[in-house]
Structures are given as C-alpha cells and as structure tokens.
Copies of this chain bind each other. A is one copy, B any other.
C-alpha cells in the first residue's frame, strides 16, 4: 500500500489534486513567485535564488513542468523557464466553483 488510489476518483478530482501537489512545496511556490516577479524568464537564476542545491532545484522545476505550470525553452546553453498561463487558467477555473460554493454555503452548520 501507499500508492494513491487515483482510479477511484473522478478525472476532475485527480486534476485538482495533481495541480495542488505541484504547488505543495514551498520551493515550488517560491519558483512561481520568482517567475512572476522577474520580467524576463530566468533560467539558472532560479538556482541562485533558492536555498537549495542545483540538482534539487532541477527536480522541482521538472515537477512544475510535468504539472504543466511552467514551460522550459532551451536557449543555447541554458534553459528559459516561464509561467504556462494556460494551466494556471485551468487551475483557476477548477477552483472557482469550489470557492464560489464555499461562499454560497455560509455556515449551514457547526
């Protein structure tokens, strides 16, 4: 055991969970923060920004990329990472109904 039973849940629930997981580590939130702050799409700058070793940052970048939250363009020697707006838009669209329903509920109990 220990393997998540993803097949028992809806596609939507798994999509939400996957996007949440991608941002469930402060380093990855910090990477997104940085990519939003800097005008240009930084590459190895991210490694310099974070208090983590290069291989570790590379791994976090890979996870964000797998989740589709960032894109990586090879630019000669280095790689240019940047926000993938499409996925963020989808994420927002998935969360909107939840936040909306929470507000509509208005403490029906407890």
What is the minimal beta-carbon distance from A95 to any residue of chain B, in angstroms?
7
Number of chain copies forming the complex? 2
Bound-state Cα–Cα, A56 to B52, Å: 34
Q: Find residues 2-32 in chain A having any chain B CB closer than 8 Å to their own CB.
A: 4-6, 8-10, 13-14, 16-18, 20-21, 23-30, 32
Inter-subunit contact A13/B36 (CB<8 Å): no
- Chain B contacts for A82, CB-based, 8 A: 107-110
Inter-subunit contact B41/A17 (CB<8 Å): no
Known: A80-B109, A106-B85. A24 touches B33 (CB 8 A): no
What is the minimal beta-carbon distance from A5 to any residue of chain B, in angstroms?
7
Inter-subunit contact A9/B36 (CB<8 Å): no
- Chain B contacts for A109, CB-based, 8 A: 40-41, 73, 80, 82
In the complex, besides A13-B26, A20-B21, 15 extra interface pairs with C-beta distance below 8 angstroms are: A9-B30, A13-B33, A17-B25, A17-B26, A20-B23, A21-B21, A21-B24, A36-B105, A41-B109, A80-B110, A82-B107, A83-B102, A85-B106, A89-B102, A95-B95
22 A–B contact pairs at CB < 8 A? A5-B27, A5-B51, A9-B29, A13-B26, A13-B29, A13-B33, A18-B24, A20-B21, A20-B23, A20-B29, A21-B21, A21-B25, A24-B24, A40-B109, A71-B110, A82-B110, A85-B106, A88-B102, A89-B102, A91-B99, A92-B95, A95-B95
